[in-house]
Chain A
């Protein structure tokens, strides 16, 4: 009797699973064609390209349950993906298997304006959510990302935006989540855990299970529904920019301490001149011209309210604080010019323009981490020194860009009244240039190590947008925390089918 080779067995299994999945979702929504698979194999990170074996596009929670059960039966990995725009390798299937593309699940299920929540499917994008909510006078907290980003996955992954100084990160807004677990069963978190209870309470019947899903990247189950908080739309907004003509970030941090603990700023963040100019312009030469006009460091403070009077009152508070502490505001002429450049609605001030940074080299890598405000100046200096060591020998004589790579680096986002900060230190690479990738990898490795040595915390398992290969640098330092996570993963997903390899743990198969 002829025996099948391993490849033949794998192929036969894939054919069998494709057939079974086709019966669940319809043949049009499942494929194992390499031309389809390759579309899910690479993103904007250093993560090596890896194709799934099958892509399937379910439309309902019941279909997701069936798919997961089939995967479990065949021991096949499942990698969920909602809008497929994670830039940190987060949706790249580490071990092949089934790529669960949830983009057909993109409905807003309920808007509860009385209790200020919205219930959504995983692929509802910020662009859609904000516009629908806006018509009812509300908005969802948005990240500093494009309007194409998914609300639910971004919240679950601790998305951070300019309003984080007041409202915190994405996970702070989640009321409840519904997951399809590795065995195909449904788990609801928060107040939704109790059938019949209103979805108004963030905490579940304690101990609260929600936390293990935060930034879990699909390793414990598939997110199929989320209820999240929404906020009243501020009808009037006023932008103020405080300027600092200094390389030293200490005065910037002092200002953050003063401003963020007050309650008048809806949004507050820091951008250095080059980054700021890059966001505000469409062309390289426009950016170069603008950077000459901008102060080196800028803190944007947006105050707002339901009425002009309320917004002005808050602005007066800010001005009194600035006068007392000796902070300088951007000139009205320059501010007016900037306001014209960013004359876009509230929900997207940074949403769309962030993609402009990719003009620089085609790709930018984000080393983002949490720390305390007081550590920022030292971390920034160390980062600059490291950057000079890695890129200092770059010959800028024929440099075609408006800025040198070590200039476009810093975005500082205070969290929750300045109790902590998300510091983003970027660097730029070109993925079609092997030398650029090589240097980027070397720099990324050193940068992550430096941040960890200097007290930074990577609160997402992949360690910033640089991908899981760098995130694993943090893992060995986690000790018992790491071991317990591993045990949890083994208990919840004993066959390790959910996003295997995603936890970047060196201890075992996860």
Chain B
């Protein structure tokens, strides 16, 4: 029986044209071969789930067949199908290589499949339900009490955005705010802004989840509720710019919210903001950090929002830090493996994906991998097995000195 309904908002309805039009050219499987340096055949795959599981269904092209099968009623949900759909990290690699040639966006079909599975009560997956329940109960996916969201900023003396107006709002995001291994990064980032004389405020305990997690695991209705609540809490603060260090929050605030409403503020990623402060001479990296560092492009920052250069500008500004590129970089980047709830639901696969990235990093000759996303940072660090993984903000703070 066809899973396609007459509802014009049925996700399958939105993508059925493309599900039938896939040319099966396989461009979605590999990096844009002739765009970047391409010498090592070990680092040419762009689709983590495809590379790991190899069956066609785990690639974007196979997902078009799954969509077609659900539309025609030729197939129905199975555990294998759900695995094929939800091991996709939504990294956008397939979109990046397919779209310029075919005009098609295979990621839209994958997103539609996730949303359709939720509407058909086949998802959220059990592991994802825990995340959503936590967002429902605690306002964040990590089961952190609401009253502790602002702990990271306590005794720091930052302005409270609800009480004092400031042109810039530093939006922490759930992961930076709650993960004890990351709150330090958030603190030093805020101190860097303070040191540069930026007039900014934070929301502390009153900050809400942006809804990114719900969106990426296919629960669009849940996401929209979160987005509306969050937007309500942000719109009247008077901030001209919202800055966040979280790549997930950044892409949702900057790219998804405008689909729902007009934003009265600009959204910037912290790397963009800090790179501008360096260019303006307000932050001066002075301390030498003699290390060979490679930069891992977070998918939500790079492919989703096109922010490739600012983090590299920051790293290049640090004396004696040598920036080396991996074969798969910028829009050809290989995902860290954590995105779209994959780390939660398929931890072994997420770890494998991170391991592939770290291997590539070591083959580039780097001693250290830097990134600019909390999910990438955690996932890569846990799989690192020796290679040092740091956030761009940390490295900048070390070079600027004085704890930022």
Binding site for B on A (CB under 8 A): 28-29, 31, 33-36, 38-44, 49, 51, 55, 57, 83-87, 101, 103-104, 108, 125, 127-128, 131-132, 135, 146-148, 282, 344-345, 348, 352-353, 355-356, 358-359, 362-363, 430-432
Contact = CB atoms under 8 A, between A and B. Distances in A.
Contacts of B20: 362, 430-432
Contacts of A83: 26
Contacts of B80: 31, 33, 35-36
A35 B80 CA distance: 7
A29 B58 CA distance: 13
Enumerate the 4 nearest inter-chain pairs by beta-carbon distance, A residue then B residue, closest first.
Answer: A39-B56, A362-B21, A35-B81, A39-B62
B61 interface: yes
B27 A34 contact: no
Given A35-B75, A38-B66, A359-B102, A147 B30 contact: yes
B3 to A, nearest CB: 13
10 contacts: A38-B65, A39-B55, A39-B61, A57-B54, A87-B23, A127-B33, A352-B27, A356-B102, A363-B21, A430-B20
B17 A432 contact: yes
Given A34-B69, A35-B75, A35-B78, A29 B29 contact: no
B57 A358 contact: no
Nearest to A283: B103
Q: Is chain B's interface secondary structure helix, strand, loop, or mixed overall?
A: helix
B34 A148 contact: no
Nearest to A34: B75
B287 interface: no
B55 A36 contact: yes
A34 B78 contact: yes
Interface string B262-300: 000000000000000000000000000000000000000
Contact of B34 (A85, A128, A344, A432): A344
Nearest to A40: B56
Given A42-B24, A101-B54, 20 more contacts: A34-B74, A34-B76, A36-B56, A38-B62, A44-B24, A101-B55, A108-B41, A125-B30, A131-B38, A131-B39, A146-B26, A147-B30, A147-B33, A148-B25, A148-B27, A358-B21, A359-B103, A430-B20, A431-B20, A432-B19
Nearest to A364: B23
A38 B21 contact: no
A85 to B, nearest CB: 5
A345 B37 CA distance: 12
B101 A57 contact: no
Contact of B68 (A38, A108, A352, A362): A38
Interface residues on chain B, size class? 35 or more
Interface string B43-76: 0100000000111110101100110110000111
Given A38-B65, A38-B68, A355-B23, A148 B29 contact: yes
A321 B37 CA distance: 39
Contact of B101 (A103, A108, A352): A352
Contacts of A36: 55-57, 80, 84
A148 B65 CA distance: 19
B65 to A, nearest CB: 5
A42 B103 CA distance: 20
Nearest to A124: B41
Contacts of A345: 34
Contacts of B21: 358, 362-363, 430-432
Q: Select the residue from B16, B39, B57 with max chain A CB neighbours within 10 A.
A: B57
Contacts of A34: 69, 74-76, 78, 81
B41 A132 contact: yes
Contacts of A38: 57, 62, 65-66, 68-69, 74-75
B33 A352 contact: yes
Contacts of B38: 127, 131
A458 to B, nearest CB: 21
Given A127-B33, A128-B41, A135-B39, A358 B61 contact: no
B271 to A, nearest CB: 28
Contacts of A35: 57, 66, 69, 75, 78, 80-81, 84
